[in-house]
Amino acid sequence: MGIFLVGLSHKTAPVELREKISFAEETIPQGLEKLRAESIPENIILSTCNRVEIIAQCEDCVKGISATKDFLSGEHQIPLDELEPHLYIREGNEAIRHIFRVASSLDSMMVGEPQILGQFKNAFTIASEAKATGIILNRLMHKAFSVAKRIKTETGIARSAVSISYAAVELAKKIFDDLTDKTVMLIGAGEMCELAAKHLMQNGAKKMLVTNRTYSRAVELAQEFNGSAIRFENFIESLIQTDIIISSTGAPHYILHHHDVKEVIHERRNKPIFMIDIAVPRDLDPEINKIDNVYLYDIDNLQAVVETNIEERKKEAEKADSIVTQEVRTFEQWLASLKVTPMIVLLRERMEQIRQEELRKTLPRLNGISEKEKRSIESMSMAIINKVLHGPMKALKSCHPEEKETLMQVLREIFQLEDSPRKIGEKDR
């Protein structure tokens, strides 16, 4: 019984290969069934834009890994000798560690990103509904989810923004505390501008104004945010009612100058304005930042914030890896306990068999004893068995995982346990 993983990711394979090897969601149940036909009773297929991994449990990991590689090669019609250099294989506790790290986004292209956990849960749901998981992978996946949650809670790995658009929202929150009564103006209709606007609206901004040199595009984007379009030639007049400006036009020169904003601030009675200039060349004159109560950030300022946050995430990732190490140890202990459970059952069954045989021989010879006395003898025999088994069972549960197999072999010989213990999971299938 072993856990293994075969996969490739953005770290080992180019996008051209990742595209070929990925699984459409509707094809995954069929793939799971094919793996089960290869004597891999438990398996999960995780397929995202950055990785494809098959997580599996079977009796013979060597055969299971070989069959999984053949499956990936055959399923996507890629010769194995072309595919194999890009594959990584993890087995035993290294597989468990890898799974916990992936679920916690420690192996992601952007450490701390939240999407991978949802993709992980979806892969598990598909496998579970296809009845391709059992006691081992069910436990492993739920443990992976709890590890990811613990890392998110106990470290700052997902706390700070690592994208330009989200860094803008974080800065806005620092300046205004509360965005719920704030009006945002988008100048230009580029993708990054739109993304920053979405983040601001998701964080409670009240109203969206959109201006663009092409008015119809401004109207179209304003409708997406249930906002209002403003003609480009009039946008400076609307700055009086604007708290946050995000500008990203293709203009070759400044579109907003120091004197424009000085008048606006006067009209606003010095209420602060937060300005984000994502454009290159810049849209907003840097001299604007010298005006009191104006907070202007350009693309380099935001990039510096992002890079600082990325460094912070790297430090937090070290803390997260310590948590992964603790949780791998805990899961290994659970796995080891599974190995000894059938042995304990077999021991009890053997001792109970001896006890019943001795009672059958002894009780008929005790003429004249009452039912109460018979029950007392039976209870005493049970108590003796419990006392005899206490030591071996305690040793089985507490010994080091590497010593368990030796101890189980010794117990088989001492107690003459000739039958093979029931395999874990047979009852659950």
Q: Which of 49, 58, 61, 193 is catalytic?
A: 49
Please indicate whether residue 193 is annotated as part of the active site.
no
Helix extents (H) in 78-134: 80-83, 93-103, 115-129
CA dihedral 61, 62, 66, 67 (to 10 degrees): -40
Question: Looking at this protein, which amino acid is placed at residue 318?
Answer: E
Query: Could you tell me what percentage of the chain is helix, strand and coil, using 3-state DSSP and rounding each to the nearest 5?
Result: 60, 15, 25
Give the residue from 31, 90, 38 showing the smallest Cα distance to 64. 38
Give the residue from 137, 9, 169, 147 showing the smallest Cα distance to 64. 137
CA torsion sign, 10 to 12 to 18 to 24? negative
In the β-sheet with 228-231, what is the strand arrangement from edge to edge?
A: 228-231, 207-212, 183-187, 244-247, 273-277, 294-298
Bridge partner residues of 187 (DSSP):
211, 247
- Report which secondary-structure segment, H or E, holds 238: none
Give the catalytic positions in this structure.
49
